[in-house]
Amino acid sequence: MIKRMIALIILIASANSQMGIEGKFLQLKPTGSYQYLKRIYRDNANNPQYTQGFTFLNEDTILESAGLYKKSGIHYINLKNVNKLQYRQNLDDKYFGEGCDIINNKVYQLTWLERKIFVYEKEDLQYIGQIDLHPSIKEGWGLTHRVQNGETQILISDGTSKIHILNEDFELLKSIQILHVTIPVEYLNELEYANGILYANQYGKTHIFAIDLDKGKVLAKYNFANLVKEANRPDGCLNGIAFNQKTQTFWITGKNWPFIQEVKLN
Ligand SMILES: [Ca+2]
């Protein structure tokens, strides 16, 4: 009897321990599943774009911001002809282009260390003006927006684990630190807000996080290591997340990548 009780205690202790480890593992790595759909190749041999911002204008046109000093710019590309850069505007050599978005019929483009946000006409990307990045924001990295209770909120990443929420006048409302379980997610980069969820990649890594912004919490992690390998660009990591409202799919790419990839995130 005593032997049987001891065996039972050992069995229960062992099961608890295994569940504990497994539960912790699952918590640390909530892996999101996805399916690849279409892929469109682009001529990166002759016309590489160091993609820093990516968002849809309409169902088949993407706004793209390109980085690097002396090579930065902003343009539209159509999915039917991705090699033609429509309404391309080059930045002055001293600016490094970063995240971009279309917010209430205007186009906004961050710059990296220069702390300027350029504003353009949506139709033809004619330059309208510029705004200074709020002093509490470290650098200009990713840009997207959401509408909360009828109010537009601008969301900016700055290479830290924080997402900064600003009003339409680019005044800072609050900054939220994003945690993956208990670990701050550093180097948050390109952003895309879709259906109440913030999507962000992490500089130099192969995954995209789905984030509950208000809770500051990672909901899922989608690993695109296979895509990064196929892109085969040691000079360019995963960057560029654009959500197509009509098809409810994402198009993702990277810096100097030879293709853009449609993907359905589950
Ligand atoms: Ca984006």
Instruction: State how far the Cα of 43 lies from the Cα of 14, in Å rounded to an integer.
Output: 57
Task: Count CB-CB contacts under 10 A for residue 122.
Answer: 15
Alpha carbon of 157 to ligand 1 centroid (Å): 11
The CATH class given to the 31-265 domain equals mainly beta
Edge-to-edge strands of the sheet including 34-41?
34-41, 259-265, 249-254, 238-244
Q: Distance from the CA of 6 to the center of ligand 1, in angstroms?
A: 58
Question: What confidence score (pLDDT) does residue 18 get?
Answer: 41
Give me the residue spans of the domains in the chain.
Answer: 1-30, 31-265
pTM of the model: 0.89
What pLDDT tens digit does each residue of the chain (266 aa) get?
Answer: 555 554 444 444 444 444 444 444 445 556 889 999 999 999 988 889 999 999 999 999 999 999 999 999 999 999 999 999 999 999 999 999 999 999 999 999 999 999 999 999 999 999 999 999 999 999 999 999 999 999 999 999 999 999 999 999 999 999 999 999 999 999 999 999 999 999 999 999 999 999 999 999 999 999 999 999 999 998 889 999 999 999 999 999 999 999 999 999 99
Give, in degrees to the nearest 5, the angle at Cα 29 between 155 and 207. 50
115: left (phi over 0), alpha (psi -120 to 50) or beta: left
Distance between Cα 148 and ligand 1 center (Å): 18
All residues with CB under 5 Å from ion ligand 1: 54-55, 192, 241
